[in-house]
């Protein structure tokens, strides 16, 4: 991750103070990329967690064809100074993080958020649907959360001891004090949405409730078997889901998902083992290789993988 080139931009966000945005890719030429992603981290994390995920080998082709904006919320970077006041409310962040797009002159993004970051992303999409192509929400909860176990998992990173604990606690307090958003989802979510959670997570029910309250045809849900924390335990499955979701939006159509690459390798190896002098028979391929998948017609609803 240390070799990833990031350019830092400080954005003055209304009612929230200064927010650091770390751009992965060339900002100017990247505006013509297949996709522009904006990540929002949860409590106990920083933009570094999403940079690490984007550095996963399964994301290499997608990142090469994308511009990624990593939002680091106030006071959450390594060795940050104490916040001068309280952490902004999630409602204020969801309303005003659009200032990031305005200052960087980016028209629309695919939002990617986890935990509290997913909650902020959902608020952003409801407030500014015209600036959002779609959103992938990991472990999103719409009501007051019980934090202790989740924070213990999220803080278990190589830089977790370098964050400002006082600022993290302030973010946590803001998350606990957030207003609920479930009652708004049916009328205000108008963009394609993918909900991800671990099947072993306590947030499964919350994801199911959100799925049930978002207008039919706009939302799908994936529950990953044998997983509690998606980002930490299953980055390759998160990558596969994100790529499929983006392709459902018509983005990064040329990127092969891991399952497709694996099928290709197996097919070539099989041909070599058999010593065939003639071209091997066309291998069977999944439907998404014949057509760009559309998230509205994918059979992801309540699907455990």
Residues 93-118: tens digit of each pLDDT: 999 999 999 999 999 999 999 999 99
Say yes or no to pLDDT of 186 above 70: yes
Q: How much is the average pLDDT of 12-23?
A: 96
How far apart CA 83 and CA 260 sit, in angstroms, is 46
**Token pair for 228:** 């509690």
6-13 vs 17-24, strand pairing mode: antiparallel
Report pLDDT for 272.
47
Q: What are the CB-based long-range contacts (under 8 Å, 24+) for 2-7?
A: 4/51, 4/54, 4/55, 6/51, 6/70
Which 3 state secondary structure label does DSSP give 86?
coil
Say yes or no to pLDDT of 146 above 60: no
How far apart CA 184 and CA 189 sit, in angstroms, is 8
Close Cβ partners of 95 (under 8 Å, ≥ 6 residues apart): 15, 123, 124, 127
Q: How much is the average pLDDT of 214-231?
A: 95
Name the range with the highest mean pLDDT among 5-14, 75-84, 268-277: 5-14
Say yes or no to pLDDT of 180 above 70: yes
Say yes or no to pLDDT of 261 above 80: no
Name the range with the highest mean pLDDT among 63-67, 141-145, 159-163: 63-67
Other beta carbons less than 10 A from residue 245's beta carbon: 25
Q: Give φ, ψ of 29 to 5 degrees.
A: -70, -25
Report pLDDT for 296.
46
Q: How much is the average pLDDT of 111-139?
A: 97
How far apart CA 30 and CA 34 sit, in angstroms, is 9
Report the run of H or E that residue 120 belongs to, with start and end.
helix 116-127
Report pLDDT for 38.
98
Other beta carbons less than 10 A from residue 158's beta carbon: 9
Cβ proximity of 72 and 41 under 8 Å: yes
* 158 against 242, higher pLDDT: 242
| CATH number of the 6-256+293-304 domain | 3.40.50.1820
**Token pair for 178:** 């957030």
Ranking 142-151, 165-174, 249-258 by mean pLDDT, the lowest is 142-151
Q: How much is the average pLDDT of 39-60?
A: 94
Which 3 state secondary structure label does DSSP give 178?
coil
How far apart CA 128 and CA 254 sit, in angstroms, is 29
Cβ proximity of 232 and 224 under 8 Å: no
How far apart CA 8 and CA 78 sit, in angstroms, is 14
Q: How much is the average pLDDT of 57-77?
A: 95
Report pLDDT for 158.
53
Report pLDDT for 257.
84
Please list the residues that pair with 38 across neighbouring strands: 69, 111
- pTM score: 0.83
């Amino acid at each position: 991750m240390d070799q990833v080139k990031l350019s830092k931009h400080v954005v003055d966000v209304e009612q929230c103070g200064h927010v650091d945005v770390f751009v992965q890719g060339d900002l100017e030429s990247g505006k013509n990329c297949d996709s522009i992603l904006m990540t929002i981290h949860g409590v106990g994390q920083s933009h570094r967690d999403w940079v690490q995920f984007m550095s996963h080998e399964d994301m290499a082709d997608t990142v090469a064809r994308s511009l990624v904006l990593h939002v680091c919320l106030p006071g959450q970077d390594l060795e940050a100074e104490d916040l001068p006041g309280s952490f902004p409310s999630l409602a204020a962040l969801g309303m005003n993080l659009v200032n990031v797009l305005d200052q960087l002159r980016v028209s629309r993004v695919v939002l990617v958020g986890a935990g509290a970051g997913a909650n902020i992303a959902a608020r952003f999409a409801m407030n500014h649907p015209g600036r959002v192509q779609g959103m992938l929400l990991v472990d999103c909860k719409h009501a007051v959360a019980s934090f202790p176990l989740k924070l213990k998992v999220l803080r278990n990173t190589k830089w977790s001891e370098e964050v400002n604990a006082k600022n993290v606690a302030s973010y946590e307090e803001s998350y606990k004090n957030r207003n609920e958003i479930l009652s708004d989802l049916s009328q205000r979510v108008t963009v394609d949405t993918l909900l991800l959670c671990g099947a072993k997570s306590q947030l499964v029910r919350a994801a199911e409730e959100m799925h049930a309250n978002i207008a039919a045809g706009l939302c799908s849900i994936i529950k990953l078997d044998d997983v509690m924390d998606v980002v930490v335990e299953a980055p390759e499955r998160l990558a596969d889901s994100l790529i499929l979701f983006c392709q459902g939006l018509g983005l990064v159509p040329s990127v092969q998902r891991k399952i497709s690459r694996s099928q290709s390798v197996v097919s070539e190896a099989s041909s070599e083992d058999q010593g065939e002098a003639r071209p091997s028979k066309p291998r069977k391929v999944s439907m998404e290789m014949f057509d760009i998948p559309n998230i509205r017609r994918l059979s992801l609803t309540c699907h455990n993988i």
